[in-house]
Amino acid sequence: MKKSIYNNYLKLEEHGEVRSRGILHVLILTDLMGLFTLLGPSELTFALPIATVLGIILNVWALLYLIAPYRFESSFFLFFGTWGLFTSFIMFLVIQKFLYNIFQYHSLQFFYISLTLYILCIIGVQVLHLLFLYERLTPPKGPRRNWTPLVAITPALSYVIGQLVYSMIVSEDIKALIFVACESLLILYPIFCIKFIHQYYFLIKNKQSLNEKYPNLNLPKKNRKLG
């Protein structure tokens, strides 16, 4: 790992960011775009109970950073990576619910196929992230920032494109199709955020360097030394 990447990986979020990002991501993407859209009748009766449990975990966890962002700052990347995992799965359930309602599926075969593709998508994104991070893949010439994000989310894009193409072929419900398309694109963001779980364990592994950089780490604000 390059020194510049190493130093960037040791960088923690600002406390204002920790407080606002955690709760806003949960309220808008997890609750509004996830749990709320799962309400109502569905062929997948297990979807809402599973999503509710995951949503409750994220909402309670996010409150910790709203109440005491200084005290729990070192665990924020674990939270954010877990948020990506849980929220992407909730959105996956939303997409499946609408597809089942549109096409009137009754068998779980389509769900299991989609679940397999979803899991492969997550694995692919994380593997590519690690390969780039540890320079197992050599970047082509040119500005790295222009191509790295696109290549990293290629497995996720493949999943989304496949989902959309299938929907367009079979469905005549334009409004539902547009919603599925938007949700399928939106799911890319939390899938990409799962990478922060690796960054959290990187911080644990390099705890001594982290404490040297942040001597007041995890102390309440009133106990911190200024300067």
- Give the model's pLDDT for residue 70: 84
Would residue 161 count as lying in a domain? yes
Kindly report each contact of residues 114-118 with a partner whose C-beta sits within 8 Å and lies 24 or more positions away, as own/partner: 114/163, 117/159, 117/162, 118/88, 118/89, 118/92, 118/159
- The pLDDT tens digits for 37-79 are 999 888 899 999 999 999 999 999 999 999 988 888 889 999 9
Helix locations, the chain, DSSP H: 3-9, 15-25, 36-38, 47-67, 76-103, 109-133, 144-152, 154-170, 174-186, 188-193, 196-205, 207-213
Q: If 0-12 CB within 10 Å is exposed, 13-18 middle and 19+ buried, where does residue 122 land?
A: buried
Number of domains present in the structure of the chain? 1
Would residue 69 count as lying in a domain? yes
Would residue 185 count as lying in a domain? yes
Give me the residues of the chain with pLDDT under 70, please.
Answer: 137-173, 224-227
- 91 lies in which domain range? 13-221
- The pLDDT tens digits for 101-114 are 887 888 999 899 88
Average pLDDT score, the chain:
82
Would residue 149 count as lying in a domain? yes
Would residue 7 count as lying in a domain? no
CB 19 within 8 A of CB 65: yes
User: Whole-prediction pTM value?
Assistant: 0.84
